[in-house]
Chains A and B, each alone.
Chain A
Amino acid sequence: MTMQKFPSNVNSVKSRFTNRFLQALKKMNKNKPASPSIRETYRRYHFIRVASYASMASVIRPRRAWSYATLWKIRNRALMKRSSRARSLTRNPRKDIGFEQVSDLRKLVPGGEEMKICRLLNETIHYIKCLEAQVEIMRNIVDHCST
């Protein structure tokens, strides 16, 4: 089982993520209202956050389980809101090796509900790397914008 880390193309991942993310932001700013209400503001917060995850997940393609799960969740957001409450409760949690933290980790990593621990750890590694890249790029953008 190969551990797919991306030491070689981490820069390409970052640049691709930056492209998509900025494009999403630009698209959002096209229809920017003059004086945003609070609700609108929070909606924009949420949109930016979702756009950030979506662009990172789309860069990774559905190659990893977590990116696939993220994209799936975003696309089915409307359906998920209605039916996910009941469904998530009935889903059988996988038996853990003995630690209850593993169940917490499953909730954190997207798509980690029904994985074996070995694969969950794999996904966590990749997910952490992508998250770090994502945060770094977002912080850079904010730094550029706030000057």
Chain B
Amino acid sequence: MNINSLLNQEQSLQEIHSHQNGQPQMSSHFDPTSSHDDFLEQMLSSIPSSTSAFTWDVSSVAGRAENQTPPSSLLSQFDDQSALLVSKLRQHQISSGAAKALMLQQQLMLSRGLAGNGLRSPTGASGGESGLLQMPLSLNNGDHADVVDGSFQSANPANDASMQGLFNGFTGSLGQTANQSQHFHHPQAQNFGAAASPAMNQPAVSGSTGGGTPAQPRQRVRARRGQATDPHSIAERLRRERIAERMKALQELVPNANKTDKASMLDEIIDYVKFLQLQVKVLSMSRLGGAAAVAPLVADMSSEGRSSNGTQTASSSNNNDNMTVTEHQVAKLMEEDMGSAMQYLQGKGLCLMPISLATAISTATCHSRNPIATSNNLHTSNNPLISGEAGGPSSPSMSVLTVQSAAFGGNGAGEASVKDATSVSKS
């Protein structure tokens, strides 16, 4: 029987309630004019039989100190079936809590097709509602999931309007748990709410505090303070939160974290990614000269990844040998083709420039440490005269090799290759 399954569901919901921070919390989020107590009492008080007993039950169910007298202006449209349900509700109210009562009420409305006349819905978060309905299912390991789903889904196509009332009333008491619970199944909620949301997406018109709203075919939904009413905006809000989270993480990664503006932050991110990709490109271009040294490095690969950058201390003897070798190589290449010589030097991180420029740079680097190093990664290797890579601190004395080749007789000034600072100068 559907009702029994529903009652079991209510028990689970009761457990949920007990696990929350006390029941007074539930009403704290409500508008002061409405609470699920009133809702419950309205429903129950409309039963023609023994209203007073119901109020007593309601108060015991709610467990609240305040016992508001139910407004009398409620419709009495219940028939025998409703009375049966209500009687069952009464029975279970004594043993269980408000949750079960609500569930039964929903069943009531479900069967009655009651559009919630005169009902005040404290909240209208339909997404939360559908999620709430799923919540007990999830918390109960889905024991009653099938039954409840079947019962609700059978009602869905039949009575959309009644479902609205169900959701409204349901959310009235359990609105907070939707936002707090970790078991909020969005996909299920969306699927489930999809059936009901078309009917539930209504203008959020708050019901009046008095109970005397005229009978209308659609349920008016009052939006909770600061909350959205439909599942779309809730999902939207969560999405925005996630995006903000990611942006914050990116801010820490990217230098020049501009905390103010999202658009400028995106600009920074884009620039940084472009910069990194350009660095890879430049570094790949400068690697050819060191190709010969790769083989010994392969054997020594374990230390590569961990060597810190910029802590270069070049041994002078080693560099002197390299210098000689390099110079000879450059001279040899120059005889064949200037371009290849330049490329060779570029591969080594060196460049060719006129002697005058070299002297100017050497005097300049006497004072400042690394005029080139800061921009080494931004210069492309396509500029043969300027580009070079400074891997370490520049030494005040830089050796200048002047190569005066006969092939360049037209060019009066000899061209000098300036060894970079990592290679210690020979006097």
| B301→A19 contact, CB < 8 A | yes
| B272→A143 contact, CB < 8 A | no
**If A45-B288, A142-B283, A145-B287 touch, does A26 touch B298 (CB 8 Å cutoff)?**
yes
A49 touches which one: B263, B281, B322, B333 (CB < 8 A)?
B281
Interface string of A107-147 (1 = CB under 8 A from B): 01100000001100110110111011011111111111111
Q: Is B289 an interface residue (CB 8 A)?
A: yes
| B294→A128 contact, CB < 8 A | no
| A35→B277 contact, CB < 8 A | no
Cα–Cα distance between A137 and B284 once the two chains are bound (Å): 11
Q: Is B367 an interface residue (CB 8 A)?
A: no
Quick one: closest B residue to A102, CB to CB? B266
| B283→A101 contact, CB < 8 A | no
B293 touches which one: A1, A19, A144 (CB < 8 A)?
A144
Interface string of B332-343 (1 = CB under 8 A from A): 010011011001
Interface string of B411-427 (1 = CB under 8 A from A): 00000000010110000
Quick one: closest A residue to B274, CB to CB? A108
**If A108-B270, A146-B349 touch, does A97 touch B305 (CB 8 Å cutoff)?**
no
**If A22-B301, A121-B250 touch, does A105 touch B283 (CB 8 Å cutoff)?**
no
Output the least CB separation between A9 and chain B (Å). 12
Quick one: closest A residue to B295, CB to CB? A26
A104 surroundings in chain B (CB, below 8 A): 270
Q: Is A73 an interface residue (CB 8 A)?
A: no
Near B by CB (< 8 A), chain A positions 5-34 give: 11, 14-15, 17-19, 22-23, 25-26, 28-29, 32
| B304→A137 contact, CB < 8 A | yes
Q: Kindly specify which of B46-54, B62-70, B241-249 makes contact with the partner chain.
A: B241-249
A145 surroundings in chain B (CB, below 8 A): 287, 289-291, 293-294, 297, 348
| B319→A141 contact, CB < 8 A | no
| B288→A44 contact, CB < 8 A | yes
Max chain B C-beta neighbours (<10 A), residue from A19, A35, A122, A141? A141
A97 touches which one: B243, B285, B288 (CB < 8 A)?
B243
Quick one: closest B residue to A143, CB to CB? B391
**If A52-B280, A121-B250 touch, does A146 touch B288 (CB 8 Å cutoff)?**
no
Interface of B is mostly: helix
Q: Is A41 an interface residue (CB 8 A)?
A: yes
| B295→A146 contact, CB < 8 A | no
| B280→A53 contact, CB < 8 A | yes
Q: Is B400 an interface residue (CB 8 A)?
A: no
Q: Is A79 an interface residue (CB 8 A)?
A: no
B149 surroundings in chain A (CB, below 8 A): none
| B349→A142 contact, CB < 8 A | yes
Quick one: closest B residue to A37, CB to CB? B340
A131 touches which one: B277, B286, B288, B340 (CB < 8 A)?
B277
**If A52-B280, A138-B283, A147-B423 touch, does A105 touch B269 (CB 8 Å cutoff)?**
yes
Cα–Cα distance between A102 and B266 once the two chains are bound (Å): 7
Output the least CB separation between A62 and chain B (Å). 20
| A105→B343 contact, CB < 8 A | no
**If A22-B294, A101-B263, A137-B304 touch, does A125 touch B249 (CB 8 Å cutoff)?**
yes
**If A29-B294, A121-B246 touch, does A147 touch B391 (CB 8 Å cutoff)?**
yes
Near A by CB (< 8 A), chain B positions 260-277 give: 262-263, 266-267, 269-270, 272-274, 276-277
Q: Is B386 an interface residue (CB 8 A)?
A: no
Q: Is A86 an interface residue (CB 8 A)?
A: no
Output the least CB separation between B182 and chain A (Å). 14
Near A by CB (< 8 A), chain B positions 17-68 give: none
Q: Is B279 an interface residue (CB 8 A)?
A: yes
A118 touches which one: B239, B283, B292 (CB < 8 A)?
B239
Q: Is A38 an interface residue (CB 8 A)?
A: yes
B312 surroundings in chain A (CB, below 8 A): 143, 147
**If A128-B276, A145-B290 touch, does A138 touch B297 (CB 8 Å cutoff)?**
no
A3 surroundings in chain B (CB, below 8 A): 246, 249
Given A48-B287, A131-B280, list of 17 further CB < 8 A pairs? A18-B301, A18-B305, A22-B298, A22-B301, A29-B291, A38-B339, A45-B288, A108-B277, A109-B273, A127-B273, A131-B273, A131-B277, A134-B276, A138-B283, A140-B304, A143-B392, A146-B422
Can you pick out 26 interface pairs between chain A and chain B where the beta carbons lie within 8 Å of each other?
A3-B249, A15-B302, A22-B301, A26-B294, A29-B295, A38-B343, A48-B284, A49-B280, A49-B284, A97-B243, A117-B243, A128-B254, A128-B273, A128-B276, A129-B253, A131-B276, A135-B276, A140-B304, A140-B309, A142-B287, A143-B391, A144-B297, A145-B290, A145-B293, A146-B290, A147-B391
Across chains A and B, which 7 residue pairs bring their CB atoms closest together, nearest first? A145-B290, A121-B246, A14-B305, A48-B284, A49-B284, A101-B266, A131-B276
